[in-house]
A and B are shown apart, each in its own frame.
Chain A
Amino acid sequence: MGPFLPFTLKIDPTKTRLWKELKLGSPLIACRYDPTGKYLFATAQDSSIQRVNVLDASTTKLSGHQGWVRSMAFSKKDHLLVSADYHGVINLWNWQQPTPKPSNTIEAHDGWIRALAISSDGQTLASCGNDLKVKVWSLPDGRLLKTLEGHDYHVYNLAFHTKEDRLVSADLKGKIIDWNWHQASIIRELDAKVLHKYDKGFMADIGGVRCIAFNNAGTLLACGGITNVSNAFAGVGNPQVVLFDWSTGKIKQQLVPAVAFQGTAWGVAFHPDGFIVGAGGGNGGQIWYWKPDQPNSFHTVSHGVSFRDMTLHPQGAQLGVACSDGVLRQYSLLALVSKIKA
């Protein structure tokens, strides 16, 4: 972007456009950029993890999991990628190696691991799953530090607070526990039960906290999923992101798409510029941009294919979505802006 050009590039979510598409094969489940933003990792229904170089789209397969990988977490220290699968296994990798191999494998949970999180100092890993347990591990050695018990239903997600030494975990019923994990004690509970329903017709539970994020300042917590479910087995309901005021633990805003959509919010992130990005899938996929103080998305991007996860590039200029058709899609938020004042 030399000073001689009459244009500059600026992040403008309302100008979001489909930037790159890469067919990876099997339907995708999850995706994450590494903290440097060089690679985009995606997991698929064939139990693989694929590393995609964002610049040249070259891909490398990471083999090691036997089950679907639902979650990945990163630490800049030692280029650590941690991945977890539906068979209860956690693998640790060096993501930069030419062909990464698991450096450590932990039989971590009984049944599905649904989420992982690494603390901002890179020292601690947390995992959770269908055995109702939240486990805290030391990094990089993978030693179990604590087992946290307090959920009565499958634990769907977790996140470390960005500033304080606190951990939150969230379950199928929308119960969110704020942990003092060192003492394995519950500090308080937050309530996102709007993201759950027991469907009496089908006699089954539907919902859960499908995505979770803190903002950088640590003042807001976002939890997304599905609400207003009228038919659990057809997935008829609407996506929603519940935004909590971290200090009070109260719901500050319930973020919904401005454009009618049926499905689940599978990904949420706080953009450095202060807005919130969400994405989800159902009948097609959508990306939503919200301001924290307005319930309706101020901009919505739609696609014909269902989105199952979303990751925001560390620089905030791109986002990636894992799609049900096996295609990894990247959207660009950059727009050309004229330097010449009109």
Chain B
Amino acid sequence: MFLVYFHLAFGLASLPEAQKLAEPVYPRIDTLIIKSMPKEQLTAVTASADSEIIRRLYLDLLGTIPSAQEARTFLNEKSTNKRNQLIDQLLARPEHARHMSHVVDVMLMDRRPDQRVPTAEWQAYLYTAFAENRPWDQLIREILSADGSDPKTRPAAKFLLDRDGEVNQITRDVSRLFFGRNLQCAQCHDHPLVNDYKQEHYYGLAAFFNRTSLFPNGEDKKAVLAEKAEGEVSFQDVFDKAKKVKTTKPRLISLTAINEPAFDKGKEYKVPPKKGEKPQPVFSRRAQLAPILTSKDNHAFARATVNRFWAMLMGRGLIHPLDLDNSENPPSHPAILDLLTKEFIAHHYNLRWLLREITMSQAYQRSSEVPVQLKEIDPTKWVVAPLKPLSPEQMAFAMMQATGLTDAERTALGTKCTEATLYAKLSPQVSPFVSTFGTRPGEPEGHSFLATLEQSLFLKNGSVLRDWLSIRNANLMDRLTRMKDEAQITDDLFLSILTRLPSQEERTEVIKMLQAAPAAQRHTTLSELTWSLLTSVEFRFNH
């Protein structure tokens, strides 16, 4: 193993530009990671087993686990390139676009309750974007530019409309999501802990939105964004004894203020403010943001994006926490972040490219088992793969797959079964998982993990899981109760739920339990066995 990495570290020479773009980046990621690893840990590095990686890839890219059949096929596949082939297959599946629509919905909207744009329409919009692999910069441009007045682009306006067009909410989240800097603390004064975060950064960003409001009003569910032609941000440091009031023109954190054209009095508006009419300034401050934010010159945007999706796959950001990018909190691997940022821009913000490169890396594909010789694991070195708790959506879809609800619905749909028709059947089942396992609405879903009493009672005593363990045509209980051979049942049970075959020890144990129970109680025994597997730590985490 060591030799392989050694080879990789020295295997790259400079190539011509065009060729460079086609050249995969993931070997360079691995080189840089290996370079940062302490020697004694280098020897401990272990690649994941096939059963581990297929589960991980399915969960990360499709948001669910593979069926027993899919798992079996992959495990039996002999090709040496089968992992990279699987990655390409998964990225091309509609389920991938669906999963990304969930991930990005939560990323951008923090599970806020719907205000003016229904989540279904917003997710459908995101699904379409991911299905065609719309470049990330274009997607964010759309989201920050839409004002909600055109029904065709209204779903994209959810980001701004459902934040009530409110300047502080928007400023906080734009800084957090698209700059990787949570400037909220700089609202009232320069950030007390982070020297880089200045009050003028906060208000420079706020100045893009300070003239924006909801039209006709906040109560109207069909409200759109309107803008005035006047109004400046003003701020003073709460600690400033002189109480000096300052102002700034719109400016991005790292860039100078934008040039704002001056207008003669009375010429500022295309549509002047009038009762019952939406005002339209000649010069829209808000409209300036999207193009500058997503421009190639603004590395912070690509950098924050790369860091976020790296964290989605690798369990933590290269910069961590994700929205604390500053000189005193440097990336664990600055060279990787720079490399991916540069390449992400060069690859025209192609998100699928980014996910592909990261998942193809050996760093991603390591085993999550901690080698016995290692006492302490530094999570920033990626010596072992992290345990990532399943999101509420991953948990719901994985449990539906594990219990065979997915198969049952697929069978019931017959020839009408497509990703969309199946999703329509399954998605209503997700909401109890979101309400039980999701974070507080409006709270950014970090990688903090919460195990609550509500959740364990839901799993122990709730009716959702219990219903899925009754027998239904083509579901897991149906399949297993038809089988006679206990060893076969045991293998199928483990493969269906944990995406692996049982250990010898486990096989013996389960067979014993099955044989001990009277035949008439087979279903009861199987359903309790299934429950134990579903509620195990192994299932709860993407490992």
Task: Determine whether A and B are in direct contact in the complex, meaning some CB atoms lie less than 8 angstroms apart.
Answer: no
- Chain B residues within CB distance 8 Å of chain A: none
